[in-house]
Amino acid sequence: MLGSALTLLMIAALARELFGSGLAGLQQAIPTHPGFYIAFALFYLGPPTFDYIIFRRLWAIPLDGMAALHKKRIANEVVVGYSGEAYFYAWARQRTQMVAAPFGAVKDVTIQSAIAGNTFTLILILLTIPFMEMLPKDLVNFNTVAGSAALMVAMSLPFFLFSKRVFSLPRNSLWWVFAIHMVRLALGTFTLALAWHFAMPAVPVGTWLFLAAGRMLVSRIPLLPNKELVFASVAILLIGSGDSLTELMALMAALTLLAHVALIGVFSAQALAKKLDWI
């Protein structure tokens, strides 16, 4: 029942975005280099694919579990944060022959994802400290970044101190899940930079890598106000045109929405066909 309700919410949210301004980015110039679409596809498919790798090891889920993991990702992005975890938990509960107590594993994987995100961000902070002098002082300063780093450490520390009470999975599995999330974040940053590079090949790929890392860093720093303005400032410093990057990001957002709509359509048609015994 919960899974069906969240699916309907996903469809409603996607419809609202689709008929709103969600496709405005398609009005921009469409990249013609095939590498852009390959890199975008890898970037888009990354999160559910790495989730599948994790739950394949934990639960030995079949390949059709990819559909549930895609819905989990879509729900988190278009409905409300962590609604995807609720959907995936409901999906797993319906398959008790596969996993008897899914809540603990879903909880642990979600927490490890957050810890990996904080860890990756802290690494980026350390790597970008030498370049902070390049940024406008009225938008970002060392105290803000240092305070945000301390806050991220404080948010993650209790999970380490009380790990035996918080986590259900064995320690070796937790470290493996953490490592998979770190690889996911690194490859996501790399494929995003590649997509940007193929869309605007005049800018070196190394610059795009730095900008992709900066985008993730800016988005995750909790105490940083005006995140979009800070990112635009970084873009102007690196590529000389914040408008070009804004248009490119609008295009990628529109393509992401189209991919969400296409997948939900395919999954809904597949579920209906199964219910009618067509497949």
- Looking at residue 3, its pLDDT comes to 64
- Looking at residue 244, its pLDDT comes to 75
- Looking at residue 71, its pLDDT comes to 94
What are the residues whose beta carbons fall under 8 Å from the beta carbon of 256, sequence distance 6 or more?
A: 44
Cα gap 139→231, rounded to integer Å: 10
- Looking at residue 96, its pLDDT comes to 65
Cα gap 211→205, rounded to integer Å: 10
Q: Which residue has the tokens 């940024």?
A: 135
Residues 152-174 pLDDT 10s:
999 899 998 888 899 999 999 99
Longest dimension (CA), the chain: 64
Q: Does the pTM of the predicted model rise above 0.85?
A: yes
- Looking at residue 5, its pLDDT comes to 79
Cα gap 239→10, rounded to integer Å: 36
- Looking at residue 59, its pLDDT comes to 92
Cα gap 157→92, rounded to integer Å: 29
Can you list the residues of the chain whose pLDDT is less than 50? none
